[in-house]
Homo-oligomer: A and B are copies of this chain.
Amino acid sequence: MTQTPHGYQENGEDLRSYDRPSMTVDLALLTVRSGALHALLTRRDSRPFEGHWALPGGFVRIDESLGAAARRVLRDKAHLAEAFIEQLYTFGAVGRDPRGRVVTVAYYALVDEEQLAAARQASDSLVLGEIVVPWPGEAGGPVQLHSDEGAVLPLAFDHADILGMAVKRLRGKLDYSPVGFELLPKRFTLRQLQEVHEAILGTKLNKPAFRRRMLDKGVLHATGARETGATYRPAELYRFIERSAATPMEKEG
């Protein structure tokens, strides 16, 4: 029993009697481009994994919540002011970082391709890699990343596992949560929405059934406007209607 600075009598489980791991957050920043899921990566210019590609990430500050750290990384490393962002999974295998014990809390974030364009202009070390998923359904496991030219982008640390977990999560949440809309601009056609779903699931979907299912959810508002620039009959533009906030705000993690 010792008297500690914060004034609590403590027993054997004193906060300071254990070595502490370093804590980081990593961001699986996803978008859909030309019908395929892509992730935002930064090139590592120092060891370990020099020349490999990594998720944007950073250390959690001692007076900063995990969510705040994730949003800071989104802003400073990915150059994005805001996005749908949600905690994914925490990776803490002992040898995952050769420099020492580092536990990372992974988040995933969703933006549409247009929002991402600005981010990529702000930094030339950012690249979009196409996610190639080698497993069906929600089986899970690491994924591969390909450049536009089809070359394999080698990933640093356990980031292939983190991205795999993000895809798995996305597939699981797709039909009972509004994640699909986060990957589209404010106004979108039903065909675009279907393309996003197909990109996430990695399967083709039945068109009339998809339409019915989406419209029956009651979360789509027909704007009356049409898409422009099409060489054929332009489709109606829809907007996503936020459901009444029946879901209480998630506690800051």
Contacts and interface: CB of A to CB of B under 8 A. Distances in A.
A4 B140 CA distance: 36
Which of the four size classes fits the interface of chain A? 35 or more
Query: In this complex, which of A10, A89, A250, A253 has the most chain B Cβ atoms within 10 angstroms of its Cβ?
Result: A253
A37 B207 CA distance: 41
A166 to B, nearest CB: 13
Number of chain copies forming the complex: 2
A26 to B, nearest CB: 13
Query: In this complex, which of A23, A92, A94, A139 has the most chain B Cβ atoms within 10 angstroms of its Cβ?
Result: A92
A9 B44 CA distance: 13
Nearest to A245: B139
A99 B10 CA distance: 10
Interface string A33-74: 000000000000011100000000011111111100000000
Contacts of A158: 251
B9 A46 contact: yes
A6 B100 contact: yes
Contacts of A20: 20-23, 62
Given A90-B66, A90-B87, A22 B18 contact: yes
A8 B92 contact: no
Contacts of A209: none
A52 to B, nearest CB: 14
A151 interface: no
28 contacts: A4-B99, A6-B98, A8-B46, A10-B46, A13-B59, A15-B99, A15-B102, A18-B60, A18-B62, A19-B61, A20-B22, A20-B62, A21-B60, A21-B62, A63-B101, A65-B92, A65-B93, A66-B103, A87-B89, A87-B90, A90-B90, A91-B251, A92-B105, A93-B251, A93-B252, A139-B246, A140-B247, A161-B251
Interface of A: 4, 6, 8-11, 13, 15, 18-23, 46-48, 58-66, 87, 89-94, 98-103, 105, 135, 139-141, 158, 161, 246-248, 250-253
